[in-house]
Structure 1
């Protein structure tokens, strides 16, 4: 099981969607733990906390359901409709070979974290995430930009208290952001930094990069938030797509699967390909496929 945590509009759904499409729906099950909200959007207007607060979610039921999925049992999962902010009819979820879980609080408790084989925290810089949230919520959820900005301010204390601490609990931390000091032209994809903590086994990127020498990606050692050294993989959004493709093919070939490199990887909502996203998804696929063998 793979758990992906992150704040609202951090890119969790986009990241997960490509993984599910690459694995195939017959082999994978995906779910969002934001469906465990206790209250609908109308009810929350009267409450002193936001959906980021554990008290606004059925955390205990989420834990129970994650345990069941981890042991191969189906669940009857609640459903929260983000488009209208309503709680709707529950759905049956049956676990397949790969189970991918994303949302605001999947890593919040020790019990929920114990259900996952690999845990990820998706944490773009706050200015990037805010821009993504404004764009998404105005286009898909019926909000005005001023409303989204106000809600971001209202949520900030709970984000700092409950969401961002999950970063320190994840095996992998992924951040999409521009590279400081570069004056890239408009439209240049955001680069990605992937911290790979020694809590799980990671691919041998020295070997992979030797097979595909390129400027699209490099491995470095940096200090984690606790001061300890950690491997950091830097994926450059400004690199030519053909160089990123070389790395993508090298990672995919290392999985020893007969299928060609999936075209669905790295796809954004509008269908355009984002190379750093594709490489990040391939790294997570490596953990799912190779480590699951």
Structure 2
């Protein structure tokens, strides 16, 4: 963890809703005039789209468990750790982008499913912001979580997560239901071992819980709307005493506390709640950063 160069990470699996949290942070950064160095989790995959498909086909042909984007075979866990550590120490690190679409690839002259060349993030940013699958990953060889100053988890109940993924992949990528279900099953081992353990390391978890029947996500015709959901917000016990729960309860209508470190808010207020909760935490990180910089400057005089 770093005082001079804070690292903020949002972690959650595909279709979990990390984009909603990213948008909340973007609003905070713009409003507070904070310059963030952005790292996309997809950029730290170890295989491009073509190589990944080939690796899956080879594993299936050999009767092995195929790799998934949730696991170590398809990710540079070591580079995630190195990126967080280097930025925390120096205020700079290497970065590249993963190209998802033809439109994204045009400025680079590259095809979808490929990586752009590595480039160095210039010094002078206020903090590093990571959004992806493995912001809190820990293995027997890697511990990226130790270098994160604010780790936020986004984790809807698993049936809702699957419904969101099924609908997104069908609508945006044209995948059939059978292909999507096969992907979910192929990822399950890595989901259990590398995704869910992260949520025990987060400082805050946002978990959307629908109030409609999602018992069979594979036949659900619609994604439950925010108004058909609650959001369970859990704070790590050691930081819960610093949270102004009476203020949050007063500011967010129909919210309530379910445990001493947990507040529940209406699903439609998720973005609002995120900004109320995360803004003072970002303020604290920037204040500590400025204090450390001032202390260093004074010692040079």
Q: Which of the five TM-score ranges fits, normalised by the shorter chain?
A: 0.7 to 0.9
Task: List runs of 5+ in structure 1 lacking aligned partners.
Answer: 222-229, 238-273
Identify which of 82, 91, 98 aligns with 1:73.
Answer: 91
| Aligned: 1:111 with 2:119 | no
Matches within 5 A, 1:1-293: 1-24=7-30, 27-47=35-55, 48-83=66-101, 84-94=112-122, 96-109=125-138, 111-179=143-211, 188-200=227-239, 203-209=242-248, 212=250, 215-221=253-259, 231-237=261-267, 274-293=268-287
Distance 1:216 1:94 in 2: 44
| Residues 172 and 197 in structure 1, CA contact (< 8 A), matched pair in contact too | yes
Shift of 1:153: 1.6
Structure 1 stretch 34-43 or stretch 83-92: which is displaced more?
83-92
| Residues 252 and 269 in structure 2, CA contact (< 8 A), matched pair in contact too | no
Distance 1:54 1:90 in 2: 21
Judged with a 3 Å threshold, the aligned counterparts in structure 2 of structure 1 residues 93 and 201 are, in CA distance, closer, same or farther, namely farther
Judged with a 3 Å threshold, the aligned counterparts in structure 2 of structure 1 residues 74 and 140 are, in CA distance, closer, same or farther, namely farther
Distance 1:236 1:26 in 2: 29
Shift of 1:74: 2.2
Shift of 1:171: 1.7
| TM-score normalised according to structure 1 size | 0.74
Judged with a 3 Å threshold, the aligned counterparts in structure 2 of structure 1 residues 106 and 186 are, in CA distance, closer, same or farther, namely closer
Alignment RMSD? 2.6
| Residues 171 and 200 in structure 1, CA contact (< 8 A), matched pair in contact too | yes
Shift of 1:213: 6.9
Shift of 1:231: 0.9
| Residues 219 and 233 in structure 1, CA contact (< 8 A), matched pair in contact too | yes
For the residue of structure 2 that corresponds to 1:14, the secondary structure is helix
Distance 1:102 1:55 in 2: 20
Give the paired residue count. 245
* 1:270 corresponds to: none
Shift of 1:176: 1.0
Higher RCO (C-alpha under 8 Å, 6+ residues apart):
2
For the residue of structure 1 that corresponds to 2:70, the secondary structure is coil
1:71-120 per-residue CA deviation (whole Å, 9 max, x = no partner) reads: 34322313222333322333443462132212111211263112111112
Task: List runs of 5+ in structure 2 lacking aligned partners.
Answer: 1-6, 56-65, 102-111, 214-223, 288-301
Judged with a 3 Å threshold, the aligned counterparts in structure 2 of structure 1 residues 139 and 122 are, in CA distance, closer, same or farther, namely same
1:148-170 per-residue CA deviation (whole Å, 9 max, x = no partner) reads: 22211211121011111111111
Shift of 1:202: 5.6
| TM-score normalised according to structure 2 size | 0.72
| Residues 196 and 202 in structure 1, CA contact (< 8 A), matched pair in contact too | no
